[in-house]
Structure 1
């Protein structure tokens, strides 16, 4: 077994939620497909849904302006109905529980209500600080969410490590100036339009440890 890689000594830890801390993919896809029957019958998940972005931003591109608020509320209700299907990403609970108090922030593109419900369903201890869709004017891939996350942690963003699975989120972290970016899952190697990729990609959070102030990576996924 190879020795762990020492990635650095971050002061704070910023975690995306869906795909990083929790696996909500099946329930979210079911909600979007059901939503589309009313608002966008020709909706195609692969073509029209870019993971990591705020749902309201995607909806604004798919329906008439006058229907955006109604359509978003409908989607949120459907996602809340399926939240019990959310489970933890392997290693997420152990890693977050091992971090010093107040040192980690969840930075999600989802609404606060949904994020908290999914974390609870997955058995993840709630973070002391949370940045959600309501807390920003511009969602990922804009850097604002991770800038706000660093502010919540009260440290410069360059001292933060970001955990992300989605290209839009990785681009947001890179634009914000995050000190380190850890991709979660093979999809994290897919570059955003600006070419942003993470520093390292792990299969799940069981491959990451924080020991004596050092962030250790035990297993990396090779670049495709």
Structure 2
């Protein structure tokens, strides 16, 4: 784990863009996620004991851990349907709206989520989050997090090198994805304890971070 008391490791650096995860980073969807997966588990006879180990991983990859291959397609479509229909209680996390508002005018922000497109749009709409123009969803890449593809694609769409970007994540799988893409990483201890998050810096949530856009790029500072 990196320094969880400050943003010292990121101070003085300038980033071409900031690439955000969505669930657990920009919005809180945990109650809806847990309700949906418990309902799905009941329908498919799956015993679920927890959610932490596969938080941030696309549904299709989770389904493959519990069911035989012949059920993957049907079961994946079903959990996507359940989740898209259940967005009750999805809200914006502290500091998220301010972070995107600071970056949006410069076109230096993107979202890379493990949700499929329709689900991402449903949660964005419910939360009231104003998303940046570049939104990469799980159905836009062949392999989801922890593979680097989910963060390489938004960087490409912004016209920047992922190695020049900052990835903001709450889950180990997403942090691994960002690392493998070559990006610097800022972890938020919103869904996992700080000591389980491997990143350049760790803070509680985005209310502790201020993004400053300059002609050279984006700088990161602590918010008092």
Task: Judge conservation of contact 1:40–1:62 (CA < 8 Å) in 2.
Answer: no
Residues 200, 112 of structure 1: CA spacing in aligned structure 2 closer, same or farther, 3 A cutoff? same
RMSD: 2.1
Match of 2:203 in 1: 202
1:104 aligns to 2:119 (yes or no): no
Residues 107, 26 of structure 1: CA spacing in aligned structure 2 closer, same or farther, 3 A cutoff? same
1:145 aligns to 2:150 (yes or no): yes
TM-fit CA distance, 1:44: 1.9
Residues 42, 63 of structure 1: CA spacing in aligned structure 2 closer, same or farther, 3 A cutoff? same
Match of 1:155 in 2: 160
Helix, strand or coil at the partner of 1:182:
strand
TM-score by length of 1: 0.87
Task: Judge conservation of contact 1:107–1:146 (CA < 8 Å) in 2.
Answer: yes
Task: Judge conservation of contact 1:116–1:126 (CA < 8 Å) in 2.
Answer: no
1:69 aligns to 2:70 (yes or no): no
Note the alpha carbon deviations across 1:5-52, whole angstroms, 9 max, x for none: 4352111010000000100000000000010011133222248x5111
Task: Judge conservation of contact 1:165–1:188 (CA < 8 Å) in 2.
Answer: no
C-alpha separation in 2, matches of 1:168 and 1:4: 21
1:183 to 168, 184, 187: 187
1:80 to 80, 84, 87: 84
Match of 2:62 in 1: 58
Aligned length, in residue pairs: 212
Note the alpha carbon deviations across 1:72-117, whole angstroms, 9 max, x for none: 1111121122113210010100110111332111001110111111
Residues 217, 148 of structure 1: CA spacing in aligned structure 2 closer, same or farther, 3 A cutoff? same
2:136 to 131, 155, 165: 131
Unaligned runs of 5+ in 1: 220-224
TM-fit CA distance, 1:3: 9.2
Residues 9, 25 of structure 1: CA spacing in aligned structure 2 closer, same or farther, 3 A cutoff? same
Match of 1:121 in 2: 126
Helix, strand or coil at the partner of 1:138:
coil
Residues 176, 91 of structure 1: CA spacing in aligned structure 2 closer, same or farther, 3 A cutoff? same
Higher RCO structure, 1 or 2 (CA under 8 Å, sep 6+): 2
C-alpha separation in 2, matches of 1:182 and 1:3: 11
